[in-house]
Amino acid sequence: MLMPWQPSATMSHLKKRAQLFSAVRAFFAERDVMEVDTPLLCHTSVTDPAIASIPAIFRKFNESAHEGKTYYLQTSPEYAMKRMLASGSGSIYQLSKAFRQGEVGRYHNPEFMMLEWYRIGFDHHALMDDMDALLQTVLGVRRAERITYHALFERYLHINPHAVTLAELHRLAKQFNLEEALYGLPKEECLNLLMTHVIEPHLGAEVPCFIYDFPVTLAALARIVPVGAYGNAHATASRFEVYYRGIELANGFHELADADEQRERFLANLRQRELLGLPALPIDDYFLGALQAGLPDCAGVALGFDRLVMLALGLDNIQAVLSFDFSRV
């Protein structure tokens, strides 16, 4: 039997994809944001236990099959782009392939296209304005809704996510048949599951929805806003996520620039990886060196471009917008 050699997407969908590439590039050209490209194969990758990288073995011509060094296909161009920012690039963006282990499904492909950009002098609120303008330009949508992480959980689950206890989350999980899924998880993972299974399907039904000011346990690479800085009762992470039609589109941060704090977060990730039985990864000292040299004040965001194309076409599966999905490679 012949293999399905044809593209996954129709030619009309691929033409729309090409048009969106052009629209994105025009958007950033108008704002004097420089396009860059960075390596996809690097000596290490993200330490985040929730993201799995795809390893690749590189051997020199004179090395045997038992020799060689493990490199990693990048899950995001973030670290390399920040090295460029620290070198004086100014505001930059990149349309880049990215790779993640195990991610296959309706909204996932192991190899996918990411749009990532960084704006000098922006915080996460200014970057939300930038993202909102891009979505209005590319998707033709109206201005997005904005709501804090706290207010979102109050609206849908009637809890304060900053103050709720693990026991209270488990009691809440029973209402949604999620008790077994939450068993043994830390508080931040319980909140993530409630977000994805209970809240997320309701987000961005009419217009895109920005969720911002996350709990500090979900800071990732974002700066922390201490208690009382803006009258806030709880410390928060300067982070946002964007949803449209129940689908997560992007994740952005007012970027952490403290090399020592970033190293501590990496070490905490490695401790968590060990507890979970996940392989250790080298910490990216090139990236930490860039932070030590001085990352300019900036905000950055990564957007799933394939999902953007899917939504622009009113589709519900990214296979329909990929030239060749994972089943055809």
pLDDT digits (tens, 9 = 90+) for 205-255: 999 999 999 999 888 889 998 876 666 778 899 999 999 999 999 999 999
With a CB cutoff of 8 Å and minimum separation 6, the contacts of 240 are 124, 127, 128, 210, 211, 212, 213, 214, 251, 252, 253, 301
SS3 84: helix
Residue 105 gets which letter from DSSP?
B
pLDDT tens for 92-130 read 999 999 999 998 999 999 999 999 999 999 999 999 999
3-class state of residue 31 by DSSP: coil
pLDDT tens-digit series, residues 132-166: 999 999 999 999 999 999 999 999 999 999 999 99
- Residue 80 host element (H or E): helix 78-86
- Domains, the chain, in order of start with CATH, read 11-144+207-328 (3.30.930.10)
Q: Average pLDDT in the 49-70 region? A: 90
Q: Report pLDDT for 288.
A: 97
What number of other Cβ atoms are within 10 A of residue 289's Cβ?
Answer: 12
**Residue 250: which of 208, 312, 295, 187 has the closest Cα?**
208
- At 71, the pLDDT band (50, 70, 90 cuts) reads very high
pLDDT of residue 226: 85
Angstrom distance (rounded) from CA 85 to CA 91: 7
How many residues are present in the chain?
Answer: 329
Query: What global pTM score does this model have?
Result: 0.94
Q: What is the pLDDT of residue 228?
A: 64
The DSSP code for 200 is G
On whether the CB atoms of residues 101 and 75 are closer than 8 A, the answer is no
pLDDT digits (tens, 9 = 90+) for 245-297: 999 999 999 999 999 999 999 999 999 999 989 999 999 999 999 999 999 99
The whole-chain average pLDDT of the chain stands at 94
- What's the rounded mean pLDDT across residues 311-323? 96
* Nearest residue to 245 (alpha-carbon basis) of 141, 322, 153, 156: 141
Q: What is the pLDDT of residue 145?
A: 97
Q: Quickly tell me which residue has 């982070």 as its tokens.
A: 239
276: DSSP letter: T
Concatenating the DSSP letter of every residue in 99-136 gives E-TT--BTTB-SEEEEEEEEEET--HHHHHHHHHHHHH
**Residues near 323 by beta carbon (within 8 Å), at least 6 away in sequence:** 7, 8, 9, 14
For strands 41-42 and 69-73, give the pairing.
antiparallel
